[in-house]
Amino acid sequence: MVKTEIKKALQCLSEYLNWEKKMQYTISEATNPRYADAENTYINIDVKFYETEDAIHGYTCVANDDSAQCVDYWNRALAGEFGPIAPYVDPDA
């Protein structure tokens, strides 16, 4: 019974990961880059994707993510492609 449940869970995880790989969107526009943490390890950007038309989405990227797309957006943000990166603002300050 336990082996069956573990096998089902692994199958679900595998299907999710395969779905996630297929769900790679292409940025049509990115603006408002800003550091999301005090250590400057995450960058938030506002993006529009070709696949979702005009909707604006929040996107957080990080240099060491497993997703090549995320790392690409991180590098592009650092290069200034989306505008200057605003400093982190502590929401509790």
How does pLDDT run across 25-73, given as a tens digit for each residue?
A: 788 889 999 999 999 999 999 988 888 777 898 889 999 988 888 899 9
Q: With a threshold of 0.85, does the pTM exceed it?
A: no
Band (9; pLDDT cuts 50, 70, 90): low
Band (11; pLDDT cuts 50, 70, 90): low
* pLDDT above 50: residue 83: yes
* pLDDT above 50: residue 19: no
Residue 55 amino acid letter:
A
pLDDT of residue 51: 80
Cα distance between residue 61 and residue 73, in whole Å: 6
SS (H, E, C) the chain: CHHHHHHHHHHHHHHHHHHHHHCCCCEEEEEEEEECCCCCCEEEEEEEEHHHCCCCEEEEEECCCCCHHHHHHHHHHHCCCCCCCECCCCCCC
